[in-house]
Structure 1
Amino acid sequence: MQGHADPDFAAVAAAFAENFRSRDELGAAVCLYRAGVKVVDLWGGWADAARTRPWREDTIVCMMSVGKGMAALCVWMLVDRGQIDIDRPVADYWPGFAGGGKGGITVRTLLQAKAGLLYLDHAPDGSAYDWETIVAAIEAQEPCWEPGTDHGYHSATMGHLLGELVRRVDGRMIDRFLREEVTGPLGADYGYGAAWADPARVADIVPNAASHTFVQTRDPSTKLGRAWRIRPVVEDHYNDEMARTRIFPSSNGHGNARSVARIFAALAEGGRLDGTTLMSAGTVDRMREQSWHGTCAMTDRTFRYAHGFFLNEPAMSPMGTNPRAFGHPGAGGAIGFADPENGIAFSYSPALMCAGGGVGDRCEALVAAAYA
């Protein structure tokens, strides 16, 4: 284990070490900001299952669905600039979106995960990394329910939905917008895919057969399997060439705890950090307003959901003691979140996926230690 933890947060270092001793940690990083200052920055273990590559200070890893939170951030930055009105129909910005009876879906409904666009039934199997094919499939897709009347995590689709909205409004692809407007100005080591990074820096994702998401996304008889059939069927889909070179915002954002915590630190500080402004404090508050709390129509798990982000929910998305803390988890246990009331930003980036359907005992232990 390397890095540092301020004395006030020694419990986080102790929990991180304990993860390796008793919770089967393979390789990971954890980072914590308090009041805009980095107070924990730790990494350790191995970057591959064979334990041949040490996890180094600059190691990055796929953080899965944390990328959907980054896509939502990009949309909210355009809202903050007055370029998107969340109460206007998505089709006002993206005319083809109106196909399949979706003309009345507003940006707000989309951000609330109430649009009913869980699946891409018109997309060929394995087409997730073909942006234009997925966009055409979205345009043809019919909602699963009357938009606004139910709610469900748009597990496989949200990245393209929000990413294409950004492109229609701003003109830049979501990866370029994120790089030029967020990660570049903040100096955050994060992006979609990992083509921008030295391959030697990229840790492998090590699947866990006890992960509900891992199992269900590979089973076409499940709802998650129906949604994720767009992902190519390869032996090691988390680490293959397409996952590391193409743009799939729902799943393949690569970074580490240090980079993601820095982005959420800006949100915890009212949208501004070290001279870089992402948005106003008022917009930060708007995007973390609760839109629903209950059983998700996609996963059958209980979530609290805001507008493109999850809210603190102890069982599935633990984010400390503040019910208004918000962020985004990733399959396997990665997470990034902001707690503006307490001035906290936190992230964890593991190589070995956790068991179950939440963020796992390793992430839970680190969050609990941070708030202790």
Structure 2
Amino acid sequence: MAEIRGFANGPYERLADVLSATLDDGSDLGASVAVTVDGEFVADFWGGWADSDRTAPWQQDTIVNTWSTTKTMTGLVALMLVDRGLVDPDAPVATYWPEFAQNGKEGVLVRHVLSHSSGVCGWEQPVVQEDVYDQDKSAKILAAQAPWFEPGSVVGYQAIVHGHLVGEIVRRVTGRSLGTFFAEEVAGPLGADFHIGLAPEHDARVTPVLPPPPLPFDFATLDPASPMYKTFTGPPVGADFANTAEWRRAEIGGANGHGNARSVARVQSVVANGGTLDGVRLLSPETVDRIFAVQAEGVDVVLAVPVRHGLGYGLPSEAVPYVHDNGRVCFWGGWGGSLVVVDAARRTVFSYMMNRMAPGVVGGPTAEKLLTVFNTI
């Protein structure tokens, strides 16, 4: 069996057995898993390889691009501003970002952005990948365009732009970029090795991602005017982009966070524990409660699966039946299968981060296997 390092207490050893098996059968190349209960780690282990040649083992401090798991960090930042009374979820985005009111977006509310129902799922053409790395330019494009559907009417996944939208609100309100605010107000106080915008000195610890098969959509048959087509093609984002310096340096709060299972679980334990962890208060219990009030639900017009969103986080839906719902569970995952699940009723966090990306757009086979076992503990 593949060697697993770290620790898993008592029944959580079963999770280590699952990871060992997926490393053996090739489902995973390298990965890490962490679980917290009441803010304390009861499992924190890793195994496999940090490179496709299998010459560099995944280490305790190995980090990886977590794709859309980053959105849980961006959601936490937004909720911190709500908690401080700096942002009202029911206010128009233009209250904080006046230029955003252009082209029929004056009715887009902050809560629409936080629940993927803003109608701004991606960028209007022309746009190129370099624009994604430039917050100023990308925000100007988003401010100028019209929504792709009536805000609040349906769900449309803000795949890449989510962090640019929230990030611009953060910048207008605090004077700091999303990545800077996160580093100074979240990662630093919590001692969490998670980064939105990665400094060069961390490059040596990054394990490159192995791209998955193409997305399961036939773009030749899609309406070019549809939100799905425009989101995934404007510009098209390749998984191998994550392995470039340009991607790492940018602050893409919807997709380019770098961390591991430990750091993701550490940060999200704040939510699981009523907003405070080890004396660091980021949210009030009342603001945590707001996460679980449904803001938008239905078949996502970008992902083509049924989803539910609370304020800043995804809520369990039939698209991910292995994410159990007790009314106090929130989660989100990344392209390729990374996943973090926060259970505020049980005060637990489950986190899985990996470098071999699985097929599909929601979840992955290893995350499902791990969480299925976790749900029985």
Normalised by the shorter chain, which TM-score bucket?
Answer: over 0.9
| Other-structure match for 1:68 | 71
Farther off after superposition, 195-204 or 229-238: 229-238
* 1:128–1:230 contact (8 Å) kept in structure 2: no
Which amino acid in the other structure matches residue 204 of structure 2?
A: A
State how far apart, in whole Å, the 2-side matches of 1:292 and 1:84 are. Answer: 19
Gaps of 5+ in 1: none
| Other-structure match for 1:85 | 88
State how far apart, in whole Å, the 2-side matches of 1:30 and 1:318 are. Answer: 17
State how far apart, in whole Å, the 2-side matches of 1:112 and 1:234 are. Answer: 25
State how far apart, in whole Å, the 1-side matches of 2:137 and 2:356 are. Answer: 32
| Other-structure match for 2:294 | 290
| Other-structure match for 2:58 | 55
Which amino acid in the other structure matches residue 32 of structure 2?
A: A
| Other-structure match for 1:209 | 213
Tell whether 2:354 aligns with 1:350: yes
1:222-261 aligned at under 5 Å gives the runs 223-224=227-228, 226-231=230-235, 236-261=240-265
State how far apart, in whole Å, the 1-side matches of 2:321 and 2:205 are. Answer: 28
1:26 to 29, 46, 55: 29
Deviations 1:145-183 (A, max 9, x none): 121222211112111000100010111100000001111
| Other-structure match for 2:303 | 299
Shift of 1:359: 1.2
| Other-structure match for 2:122 | 119
| Other-structure match for 1:177 | 181
Tell whether 2:339 aligns with 1:335: yes
State how far apart, in whole Å, the 2-side matches of 1:104 and 1:220 are. Answer: 26
* 1:193–1:247 contact (8 Å) kept in structure 2: yes
Tell whether 2:64 aligns with 1:44: no
Deviations 1:202-260 (A, max 9, x none): 001101116548x97xx996855532445577793120121111111111111000000
Which amino acid in the other structure matches residue 171 of structure 2?
A: R
Find the residue that maps to 2:297 and give its secondary structure. strand
Tell whether 2:190 aligns with 1:186: yes
State how far apart, in whole Å, the 1-side matches of 2:65 and 2:53 are. Answer: 18
1:362 to 346, 363, 366: 366
Shift of 1:356: 2.5
Tell whether 2:113 aligns with 1:98: no
Q: TM-score, normalised by structure 1?
A: 0.93
Gaps of 5+ in 2: none
Would the alpha carbon gap of residues 211 and 354 (structure 1) be closer, same or farther in structure 2, given more than 3 Å must change?
farther
Would the alpha carbon gap of residues 312 and 247 (structure 1) be closer, same or farther in structure 2, given more than 3 Å must change?
same
Which amino acid in the other structure matches residue 88 of structure 2?
A: D
Deviations 1:18-47 (A, max 9, x none): 221235210000000012210000111011
Find the residue that maps to 1:332 and give its secondary structure. coil
2:113 to 106, 110, 120: 110
| Other-structure match for 1:266 | 270
Find the residue that maps to 1:143 and give its secondary structure. coil
Aligned length: 369
Which amino acid in the other structure matches residue 77 of structure 1?
A: M
State how far apart, in whole Å, the 2-side matches of 1:281 and 1:104 are. Answer: 29
Find the residue that maps to 1:356 and give its secondary structure. coil
Which amino acid in the other structure matches residue 370 of structure 1?
A: F
| Other-structure match for 1:280 | 284
State how far apart, in whole Å, the 1-side matches of 2:317 and 2:259 are. Answer: 24
Farther off after superposition, 100-109 or 36-45: 100-109
State how far apart, in whole Å, the 1-side matches of 2:303 and 2:236 are. Answer: 21
* 1:59–1:201 contact (8 Å) kept in structure 2: yes
State how far apart, in whole Å, the 1-side matches of 2:370 and 2:84 are. Answer: 35
Find the residue that maps to 1:342 and give its secondary structure. coil
State how far apart, in whole Å, the 2-side matches of 1:71 and 1:94 are. Answer: 17
Shift of 1:324: 3.0
| Other-structure match for 2:12 | 9
Would the alpha carbon gap of residues 212 and 223 (structure 1) be closer, same or farther in structure 2, given more than 3 Å must change?
farther
* 2:117–2:296 contact (8 Å) kept in structure 1: no
Farther off after superposition, 140-149 or 116-125: 116-125
Task: Give the root-mean-square deviation of aligned CA atoms.
Answer: 2.2
Which amino acid in the other structure matches residue 29 of structure 1?
A: S
Which amino acid in the other structure matches residue 174 of structure 1?
A: L
State how far apart, in whole Å, the 1-side matches of 2:325 and 2:20 are. Answer: 23
* 2:216–2:360 contact (8 Å) kept in structure 1: yes
* 1:48–1:206 contact (8 Å) kept in structure 2: no
* 1:211–1:354 contact (8 Å) kept in structure 2: no
Find the residue that maps to 2:6 and give its secondary structure. strand
Tell whether 2:162 aligns with 1:158: yes
Find the residue that maps to 1:96 and give its secondary structure. helix
